[in-house]
Amino acid sequence: MVLRRIGAYIIDIIIVFMVVTVVGGFFPRDRELENDLSSRITEMIQIGSVSDEDLDEIASTTYEISKKEVGFSIISIIIFYLYFAVLPVYNNGKTLGKMVTKTRIKSSAGDNLSLWQTSVRGMFIYQYLFDLISVILIVILSKSAYLNITSPLSNIQSILLIVCLLSIIFNNGIGLHDVCGKTVVVLDAEDEEETNASKWKGKKSETTKKSTINSDRIKNHTKRKGE
């Protein structure tokens, strides 16, 4: 189950980023600033050292890019929310990644999966709420205030993501976001039936084999007794 969940996560992230990239082509982008930021980061990696001035410059450039791309950021958040929160509610608990890995989300209470549950679990693992907060802050705050607040906010995002992924690995496939959203991820019904059928077939074969062995033993014992 852990490998299925990780596989579904990777597939879903790739799909959503592809959609976001395509949609982003319809929005004005400051390619000059983006290329400048990319070049600066590449240069620092090649040099192998980062100064405080470099970090301040990167933060400032990132702010300028984010400020100019608020519309694109909002659309990206909407896409993430529709895919990870709305789609599972109306698709039997499945995203495309979960369809591929034959898993689905269900309410841990056994009732119908609700939009509130998928929204809460998505807030932790996919973090669109944090992204929305960042967009709001960049609109209402000055550069210095925004950078001071978003720095710890980014750290919280990273920590939450790591905790969610590690909890899946080390907590029997149950993530922090599952607990908070009161959901569980299970095998899809069809796949579960196949698994159960395979187990039943294996047990039946083993039982038949044991019966055959016992029958042979009885025949041999009877034969020896007759002799």
pLDDT of 216 reads 59
pLDDT of 42 reads 79
Cα torsion through 5, 7, 8, 14, rounded to 10: 140
Are 209 and 101 in the same domain? no
Are 77 and 164 in the same domain? yes
**Contact (CB, 8 A) for 178 and 121:** yes
**Contact (CB, 8 A) for 127 and 160:** yes
Are 114 and 175 in the same domain? yes
Are 202 and 106 in the same domain? no
Q: What are 71's two structure tokens?
A: 């519309």
How many domains are contained in the chain? 2
Are 199 and 125 in the same domain? no
Indicate whether 49 belongs to any domain. Answer: no
CA distance 156 to 175: 17
State pTM to two decimals: 0.74
Kindly give the confidence (pLDDT) of every residue in the chain, 227 residues in length, as a single tens digit, with 9 standing for 90 and above.
788 888 999 999 999 999 998 988 887 777 777 777 777 777 777 777 777 777 777 778 888 888 888 888 899 999 999 999 999 999 999 999 999 999 999 998 888 899 999 999 998 888 888 889 989 998 898 888 888 888 888 888 889 889 988 998 888 888 899 999 999 999 986 545 545 555 555 555 565 555 555 555 655 555 555 55
Indicate whether 93 belongs to any domain. Answer: yes
The continuous run of DSSP H or E covering 106 comes out as strand 103-107
Are 136 and 208 in the same domain? no
* Residue 125, domain extent: 2-29+69-187
Indicate whether 62 belongs to any domain. Answer: no
Q: What are 224's two structure tokens?
A: 């020896």
**Contact (CB, 8 A) for 20 and 44:** no
CA distance 93 to 112: 10
Among the listed residues 106, 73, 68, 86, the one whose alpha carbon sits nearest the alpha carbon of residue 189: 106
Indicate whether 64 belongs to any domain. Answer: no
Are 110 and 25 in the same domain? yes
Are 141 and 169 in the same domain? yes
pLDDT of 91 reads 93
Are 140 and 227 in the same domain? no
| Cα separation values, 167 from 6, 125, 170, 175, 177, Å | 12, 11, 5, 5, 9
Are 84 and 138 in the same domain? yes
Are 76 and 130 in the same domain? yes
Are 221 and 122 in the same domain? no
